[in-house]
Structure 1
C-alpha cells in the first residue's frame, strides 16, 4: 500500500513517527498523524486545513487533543456514555492525577523496554491509513496523498475526528475545500 503514497503522504507518515518519538509514545496514533499534517506546508491537505482551521485556531485544536489525551483518549461520546452509567470521568481523571501526577492517564510515558527503535502504529492509526486507500479509490485517484489522510482522519471517528469537527474540519468541509 505504501508504494501508492505520494511524497507528501509519506512525509506525513514519517512526521507522525517523529511526533510519537518526541512525545515518548510507544505507538503512533491518529493524533500523531494529525500533528504531522498540521506541520505540512504547500500540500493539498495543508491548503484545506489552512482554510478550514487557520493558524489562530490551531492552539484550540491542540488543546482539545491534549484534553482528550488527559482523559486517556476517551471521546466526548465515551465520556457521556459513562456519565449515563453514573461514572464521572472528570472526577476519575482528577483523582488519578492527584495520586500520580498531571497527565497520568495520557499514556505518554516512554517505553524503556524498546529495543528496535521503531514505533509501531496503533490499530486506530492503521485504520486511518487503510481508510485513506479507500478514500483515494472512491475518488478514483491513483495515488494516496496527504489529502486522503486528512479525509480519512475526519471519517474514522474517535477523538481526532471529534476535535477536527469541533473546529469546522469535517469530511464534507475538507471534500469541498479540496
Structure 2
C-alpha cells in the first residue's frame, strides 16, 4: 500500500513516527498522524487545515489531543458512558497522576527501537486507501489521510470536529477551488 502514497503522504507517516519518538509513545497513533499533518505546508491537506483550522486555533487542537492522551485515549463519549455508570474518569486520572506522575495513563514509554503502528493508526492508513479509491484517485495523498482521520471516529476525529474539521467540511474544502 505504501508504494501508492505520494511523497507528501509518506512524509506525514515519517513525521508521525518522529512525533511518537519525541513523545516517548510506545506506538505510532492516529494523533501522531494528525500532528504530522499539522506540521506540513504546501500540500492539499495543509491548505484544507489552514482554511478549516487556522494557525491561531491549532494550539487548542493540540491541547485537546494531549488532554485525551492523559485520559488514556478515552473520547468524551467514552467518558460520558462511564459517568453514566458512576465512574468519574477525571477523578481516576487525577488519582493515578497523583501517585504515578503526570501522563501516567498516556501509554507505554519506549526509549528506543521501532515503534509499531497502533490499531487505530493502521485503520486510518487503510481508510486513506479506501478514500483514494472512492475518489478515483491513483495515489494516496495527505488529503486522504486527513479524510480518513475525520472518518475514523475516536479521539482524533472528535478533537478535529470540535475545531471545525469534520469529514463533510474536508470533503467540501477539497472540492472547492483553491484560493488565489
TM-score w.r.t. structure 1 length?
0.95
Report the equivalent of 2:166. Answer: 170
**SS of aligned partner of 1:28:** coil
Matched, 1:84 2:84: yes
Compute the displacement of 1:119 (Å): 1.5
* SS of residue in 2 equivalent to 1:120: coil
Deviation string 1:24-64 (CA, Å, 9 cap, x unpaired) is 11110000000000000000000000000000000100111
Mark the runs of 5 or more structure 1 residues left unpaired by the alignment: none
Q: Deviations over 1:90-130 (max 9, x none)?
A: 110111111111111112x5325x5xx21110011000000
Partner of 1:110: 109
The answer to whether the aligner puts 1:134 opposite 2:130 as a matched pair is: yes
1:152 to 131, 148, 154: 148
Taking the aligned partners of 2:110 and 2:101, their CA distance within structure 1 comes to: 18
Which residue matches 2:178?
Answer: none
* Correspondence 1:120 to 2:116: yes
Separation in structure 2 between the aligned mates of residue 94 and residue 35 of structure 1, nearest angstrom: 25
- Segments of 5+ residues of structure 2 without an aligned counterpart are 175-180
Distance across 1 between alignment mates of 2:25 and 2:101: 17
Who is 2:56 aligned against? 56
Match of 2:45 in 1: 45
Cα deviation digits, residues 59-90 of structure 1 (max 9, x gap): 10011111101111000000000001110001
Q: Any runs of at least 4 consecutive aligned residues in structure 1 with deviations exceeding 6 A, and if so which?
A: none
For residue 106 of structure 2, give the secondary structure of its aligned residue in structure 1: coil
TM-score (norm 2): 0.94
